[in-house]
């Protein structure tokens, strides 16, 4: 079983929430391509770029349009999320391994505040919340990998960046749009990888993320994900993949949260491909498409997201 194949199919579904996006209704499943759940000892370096353009304002399961101004609530206009994540993964000779992910965030955002008629703009960015996880694959059998994940999302991202222009200039951006959440979070999951048929591999994964404290009157909501994917393994050096991810997030809490407009349920499909470039280097890319979205309150949602990356096996 080639490490590149496993690395391509398995990603860090738990890593996505390491960057602040709780109030915007986004679910990044691109990190399945960067989990590092491998069976052979060694170290892998990865660099991934995710683009999540949230341009559709939704309420419940419907699109919002034609709201007269001034409105009695905030109307977000767009949020263009850019994430660059560098990671180091190491599998020991035993059943143990670890994964370190360091995200960098750049997020242009525009909104119309309650009672305003003009837009206010922000460009939050910088280091996001670093994620460190360990894994134990002692439940594996020949031809299959079964493992447990557990770790922490560290509060390394800034939480007090402000709107730059417009009627609300100088006010702090919503906590869900800051580079970090500002609280320590626990992450845990279970996964299984194996051969579905002679030509197809499969992966199923469950994970959850929970805050361990609150900070500055803010606590992100508990969220969980269930993912399933298949990979066509017959073509040499080229591996098409398809993933389905269901994400559910509870509302944020605290006086500085946008509780009314946070949390929801999303279902996404993500076709993708990984190409083996030789000498331990592989490239991947995929597009994530929403199949179902239901948000609490008013939230921006993406019509599609895109991910690209490189992985190098030392």
Instruction: Compute the average pLDDT of residues 33-52.
Output: 75
Q: What is the pLDDT of residue 245?
A: 92
Each residue's pLDDT tens digit, 143-197: 788 889 999 999 999 999 999 999 999 999 999 899 999 999 999 999 988 888 8
For residue 103, which phi and psi values (nearest 5 degrees)? Answer: -95, 145
| Pairing label, strands 264-278, 62-63 | unpaired
Quick one: which of 295, 241, 294 has its CA closest to 269?
Answer: 241
- Asked whether residue 27 carries a pLDDT value surpassing 80, the answer given is no
pLDDT tens readout for residues 268-294:
999 999 999 999 899 999 999 999 999
Q: How far apart are the first and last CA of the chain?
A: 17
Residue 264: band (very low, low, confident or very high) from pLDDT cuts 50, 70, 90 = very high
Distances (CA, A) of 17 to 6, 175, 183: 22, 13, 12
| 198: Cβ contacts below 8 Å, ≥ 6 apart | none
Alpha-carbon gap, residue 93 to 131, rounded angstroms: 23
pLDDT of residue 1: 37
pTM for the full predicted model: 0.90
Domain of 123, in residue numbers: 3-313
Any idea what the CATH number is for the domain that residue 255 is in?
2.40.160.40
**Closest to 9 in 3D by CA, of 308, 284, 287, 267:** 284
- Residue 295 and residue 38: Cα distance in Å, rounded? 35
The sign of the dihedral angle between the CA atoms of 283, 287, 292, 293 is positive
pLDDT band, very low/low/confident/very high, at 40 (cuts 50, 70, 90) = confident
Judged against a pLDDT cut of 50, whether residue 7 lies above it is answered with no
Q: How many domains does the chain have?
A: 1
Going by DSSP bridges, is the β-strand pair 145-153/96-112 parallel, antiparallel, or unpaired? unpaired
Q: How confident is the model at residue 94 (pLDDT cuts 50, 70, 90)?
A: confident
- Residue 39's pLDDT is 60
**How high is the pLDDT of residue 253?**
95
What letter would DSSP give residue 179? S
Instruction: Calculate the alpha carbon distances from 18 to 60, 127, 278, 285 in Å.
Output: 25, 11, 31, 20
Q: Which of 2-16, 195-209, 215-229, 277-291 has the lowest mean pLDDT?
A: 2-16
What does pLDDT average to over the chain? 86
Phi, psi (degrees; rounded to nearest 5) at 205: -155, 135
- 70 preceded by a cis bond (ω within 30 of 0): yes
Asked if the model's pLDDT at residue 103 lies above 80, the reply is yes
User: Which strand (E) or helix (H) includes residue 220?
Assistant: none
Q: How confident is the model at residue 12 (pLDDT cuts 50, 70, 90)?
A: very low
- How far apart, in whole angstroms, are the C-alpha atoms of residue 213 and residue 143? 40
């Amino acid at each position: 079983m080639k490490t590149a194949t496993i690395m391509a199919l398995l990603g860090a579904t738990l890593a996505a929430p390491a960057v602040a996006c709780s109030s915007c209704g986004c679910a990044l499943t691109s990190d399945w391509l960067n989990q590092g759940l491998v069976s052979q000892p060694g170290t892998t370096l990865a660099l991934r770029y995710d683009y999540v353009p949230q341009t559709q304002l939704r309420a419940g399961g419907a699109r919002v349009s034609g709201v007269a101004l001034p409105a009695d609530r905030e109307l977000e206009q767009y949020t263009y999320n850019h994430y660059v994540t560098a990671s180091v993964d190491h599998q020991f000779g035993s059943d143990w391994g670890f994964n370190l992910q360091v995200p960098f965030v750049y997020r242009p955002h525009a909104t119309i505040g309650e009672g305003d008629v003009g837009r206010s703009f922000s460009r939050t960015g910088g280091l996001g919340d670093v994620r460190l996880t360990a894994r134990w694959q002692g439940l594996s059998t020949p031809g299959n990998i079964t493992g447990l994940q557990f770790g922490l999302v560290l509060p390394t991202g800034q939480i007090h960046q402000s709107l730059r222009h417009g009627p609300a200039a100088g006010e702090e951006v919503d906590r869900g749009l800051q580079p970090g959440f500002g609280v320590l979070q626990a992450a845990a999951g279970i996964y299984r990888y194996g051969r579905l048929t002679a030509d197809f591999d499969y992966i199923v994964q469950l994970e959850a993320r929970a805050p361990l404290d609150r900070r500055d009157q803010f606590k992100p909501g508990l969220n969980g994900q269930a993912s399933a994917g298949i990979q066509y393994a017959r073509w040499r050096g080229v591996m098409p993949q398809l993933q389905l991810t269901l994400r559910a997030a509870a509302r944020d809490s605290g006086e500085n949260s946008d509780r009314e407009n946070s949390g929801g349920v999303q279902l996404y499909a993500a076709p993708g491909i990984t190409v083996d470039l030789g000498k331990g280097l592989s490239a991947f890319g995929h597009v994530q498409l929403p199949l179902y979205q239901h948000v609490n309150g008013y939230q921006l949602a993406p019509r599609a997201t895109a991910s690209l990356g490189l992985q190098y096996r030392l």
